[in-house]
Amino acid sequence: MAQPLRVALAGLGTVGAGVIALIDANRDLIARRAGRPIEIVAVSARDRARDRGVDLTRFAWLDDTRALGQRDDVDVVVELIGGADGPALTLAREALGQGKHFVTANKAMIAHHGLALAAEAERLQRAFKYEAAVAGGIPVIKGLREGAAANALTRVYGILNGTCNYILSTMESEGADFAAVLAEAQRLGYAEADPGFDIDGVDAAHKLSILASLAFGSRLDFEAVAITGIRQIIAADIAQAQALGYRVRLVGIAETSPEGSSTAGLFQRVHPCLVPLHHPLAHVAGSLNAVVAEGNFVGRLLFEGRGAGAGPTASAVVADLIDIARGELGPAFAMPVAALEAQPPAPAGERRARAYLRFSVADRPGVLAEIAAAMRDANVSIESLIQRGQTPEGGALVALVTHEGPERCVADALARLDGSPSLLGQPMWMHILDV
């Protein structure tokens, strides 16, 4: 059998230990599929003493992570440290510069430095792979880069953050409010102690910007993603959505429209959405992820699976290693970086959709008239409206769904109500996924 593919592993948290466990468990099968063995030869992490449940004594240990990229006995460096900059980025540059292939699960680093790293990998004819960075074990990077490669993709969207989906699914099944479910998720280890990256939508936005670049052949543009998280969602929003035949999901969506259209450019947004029950994303529950891609010949493709955790993420990392062992080293973003097109961000204003709006209002005469007047003056047509119940702020709840219309009109209506003493707290605006 051919020479083994020799791997250095940086970062030995849950995922790093999972990669070691996977290669141990499936060693022979991997060798049959890859055409040669895949062997870890060196590792590096912060704490050498910690028990990770795997035997590390077989591997060279390096205190200096960067030095992993300098070893002559290494063909591929796998980076599982995390963080957009710092040691992860230093290692990426060092490894590629030393002629190693590079595999990472680090969506933040790719969102910020992916194009530069991909260009460097191309120049040196080395692989830069990152299946594990988006949607965990689901092979969606491969699905877009290769499986759907014959298509002009017009839209890619999905549920990209398992923590948010777990929280929203649990709020739905238990009728609980956000804070209580978050606290429980943290206790169970489904949410980080510092959950901001997840629940504020940043993690999903990192992933979305990567998918958009791959899908549309556009230059990755994380800064252009409009981001809203799930902190403002209350139990009543989910109940209202249910009553209307929807489920609430945090959806990342990217679309590209041709020049000359009113929505021209690259549109990227992470936002809580009402997903109709007949749509497959409505049935993605718990910590699962799912990605939908729409192509001009293939139609709608759906990929679903576990978006995080040691096993699924290790599965994606080792899939990249098998690709490299097989000699499949092509460009990171499906085409050379120079062939990616810079697309201007598309403004949201002209997008036409139905909207869900929820207000906590003071329970006194005239408030409903004030809201209705703002809608009328902004040219927003109301399809249905309900006033009921108590909000966390102690007022009444007004929830409405608009007819289809431009988003700028909804923004205008909300601006007209901004600062009104009738409103207790910020209004909640969710988009309705009508696809």
User: How far is the C-alpha of 213 from the C-alpha of 258, rounded, in Å?
Assistant: 16
As measured in angstroms, the least distance from the Cβ of 207 to its own copies is 17
User: How far is the C-alpha of 321 from the C-alpha of 348, rounded, in Å?
Assistant: 39
- Tell whether residue 53 is a contact of its own copies (CB under 8 A): no
- Tell whether residue 4 is a contact of its own copies (CB under 8 A): no
Q: Which stretch binds its own copies (CB under 8 A): 113-121, 137-145, 194-202, 426-434?
A: 137-145
Within 148-177, the residues that bind its own copies by CB under 8 A are: 148-152
Cβ closest to its own copies, residue 18 vs residue 195: 18
Catalytic (active site) residue 107: no
Contact (CB, 8 A) for 427 and 270: no
As measured in angstroms, the least distance from the Cβ of 380 to its own copies is 33
Extract the runs of DSSP E, i.e. beta strands, from 112-178: 128-129, 153-159
User: How far is the C-alpha of 18 from the C-alpha of 314, rounded, in Å?
Assistant: 6
Phi/psi at 260 (5° precision): 100, -25
In order, the DSSP letters of 260-284 are TSTT-EEEEEEEEEEEETTSGGGG-
Number of residues that bind its own copies (CB under 8 A): 58
- Tell whether residue 179 is a contact of its own copies (CB under 8 A): no
Cβ closest to its own copies, residue 38 vs residue 234: 38
- Tell whether residue 17 is a contact of its own copies (CB under 8 A): no
Q: Which stretch binds its own copies (CB under 8 A): 29-37, 180-188, 232-240, 384-392?
A: 29-37
Q: Which long-range contacts (CB under 8 A, 24 or more apart) does 92-99 make?
A: 92/117, 93/117, 93/120, 94/66, 94/69, 94/70, 95/68, 95/69, 96/69, 96/120, 96/121, 96/124, 96/126, 96/128, 97/69, 97/124, 98/69, 98/70, 99/124, 99/126
Q: Taking CB under 8 A as the rule, which mask of x and - marks residues 322-361 in contact with its own copies?
A: xx--xxx-xx--xxx--x----------------------
Select the residue interacting with its own copies from 280, 344, 366, 394 (CB under 8 A).
280
For residue 86, what is the enclosing H or E element? helix 86-97
- Tell whether residue 296 is a contact of its own copies (CB under 8 A): yes
Contact (CB, 8 A) for 100 and 76: yes
As measured in angstroms, the least distance from the Cβ of 435 to its own copies is 15
Would you tell me which residues interact with its own copies (CB under 8 A)? 18, 22, 25-26, 29-30, 32-35, 131, 137-139, 142-143, 146-152, 217, 280, 283, 295-306, 311-312, 314-319, 321-323, 326-328, 330-331, 334-336, 339
Residues carrying an active site annotation = 207
